[in-house]
Amino acid sequence: MTIIKVSNNRIKFEHPIVLNPDKKYRLGVSYLMFSLRQTFFIQDCWFAIHIPIPTTNEHHVSSTNSVTGSYTIKALEKELQAIFTVVYSSLVAKMLKDEKTEIVNKLKSATTRIYIKLKIKKMSHNNYVLVLNTPFPLEIMNIGNFSKIFRFEQTIRKGDTILPNTDFISENISELLSPLSVIEWHCNIAEYSYANHDDHQHIHKQEEIFHISFINNNFYENPVYKESPKKILFIPLRKGLREVREIILTPLNEKNEELKILKNVVVYLQLKEE
């Protein structure tokens, strides 16, 4: 039996594995590991920040800020924080230029209170929400797809002003944290695999080289997935195959779409003679 380690779904052999034409071979998965840090594409979210100016009744209103791009929730929080910090720093710089020392001192003393919060909170089993809390009023010029993606549709809309130091809580986002129901792993050297039958997409369970079903698997709390099957399913190799020069693994979802969101993939294969 030969043990083969495949990293990131592909391995190319400097010296091919030569197969005995008088033997039959089968391939199975003995161990699998990957990580999944889900990203969300935020589009056309525009807002203005209103910062109260100490010792006055005035507000410093920023120019329109926007968020567009792919983010994890943590990365989105960092992006919003960076925007708030830039706007706050620009106000301090303006007051320095205007020689308003008292205002500058009060602004600087309040810097520990300018942090934004965008955090996932567990409410109960399989009930997670996203909590947004900002240090200053936030005028929503255009919400884009932010509310729809993160389930804030009942609490944050275009034209709203997000009040400062107030928790805005989304609806249940547990399905966002468990984006996969199944993964089917296929292989270019295995008989019946999806990669060998482009015109006849795989639909039969017995033809998979490896199958994972997820039940309430929370990739936010557990971004690294590991599995060692108790019973290895061995699939016959492609008919007529005499040597193995390269192994390509293809993870598919339930719609037969290739999954490209899996990172740090490590698969151990066992190649055995019948």
**Could you read off the pLDDT of 26-46 as tens digits, one per residue?**
999 999 999 988 889 999 999
| Residue 193 confidence class, pLDDT cut points 50, 70, 90 | low
Residues in the chain: 274
Asked whether residue 46 falls in the same domain as residue 157, the answer is yes
Number of other residues whose CB lies within 10 A of the CB of residue 90: 14
Flag whether pLDDT at 204 surpasses 60: no
pLDDT tens digit sequence for 50-78 = 999 999 999 999 989 999 999 999 999 99
Residue where a domain stops, chosen among 157, 174, 191: 174
Q: What is the CATH classification number for the domain harbouring 213?
A: 2.60.120.1100
Expressed as residue numbers, the domain containing 189 is 2-37+179-273
Asked whether residue 192 falls in the same domain as residue 244, the answer is yes
CA angle 247, 253, 259 (to 5 degrees): 55
Structure tokens, 264: 């740090």
Amino acid (one-letter) located at 113 = R
The pLDDT score that the predictor gives to residue 216 is 66
Report the C-alpha gap between 12 and 55 in whole angstroms. Answer: 68
Report the C-alpha gap between 72 and 192 in whole angstroms. Answer: 36
- Can you tell me the mean pLDDT for 156-169? 93
Report the C-alpha gap between 82 and 71 in whole angstroms. Answer: 14
Structure tokens, 244: 């193995």
Asked whether residue 49 falls in the same domain as residue 163, the answer is yes
Residue where a domain stops, chosen among 147, 174, 201: 174
| Residue 156 confidence class, pLDDT cut points 50, 70, 90 | very high
Report the C-alpha gap between 83 and 61 in whole angstroms. Answer: 13
| Residue 111 confidence class, pLDDT cut points 50, 70, 90 | low
The pLDDT score that the predictor gives to residue 223 is 87
Q: Contacts from 87-95 at CB under 8 Å and sequence distance 24+?
A: 87/49, 87/51, 87/60, 87/62, 88/51, 88/114, 90/62, 91/51, 91/53, 91/60, 94/60, 95/53
pLDDT tens digit sequence for 112-126 = 578 999 999 999 888
| Residue 100 confidence class, pLDDT cut points 50, 70, 90 | very high
Flag whether pLDDT at 198 surpasses 80: no
The pLDDT score that the predictor gives to residue 82 is 95
Cα Rg, the chain, nearest whole Å: 27
Please say whether the beta carbons of 89 and 83 come within 8 A. no
Residue where a domain stops, chosen among 118, 153, 174: 174
Residues 6+ apart with CB under 8 A from 199: none
Flag whether pLDDT at 88 surpasses 60: yes
Report the C-alpha gap between 222 and 79 in whole angstroms. Answer: 23
Asked whether residue 186 falls in the same domain as residue 238, the answer is yes
Asked whether residue 115 falls in the same domain as residue 57, the answer is yes
Report the C-alpha gap between 54 and 91 in whole angstroms. Answer: 11
Q: Contacts from 112-117 at CB under 8 Å and sequence distance 24+?
A: 114/84, 114/85, 114/88, 115/81, 115/84, 116/77, 116/80, 116/81, 116/84, 117/77
pLDDT mean across residues, the chain: 88
Q: Which residue has the higher pLDDT, 216 or 200?
A: 216
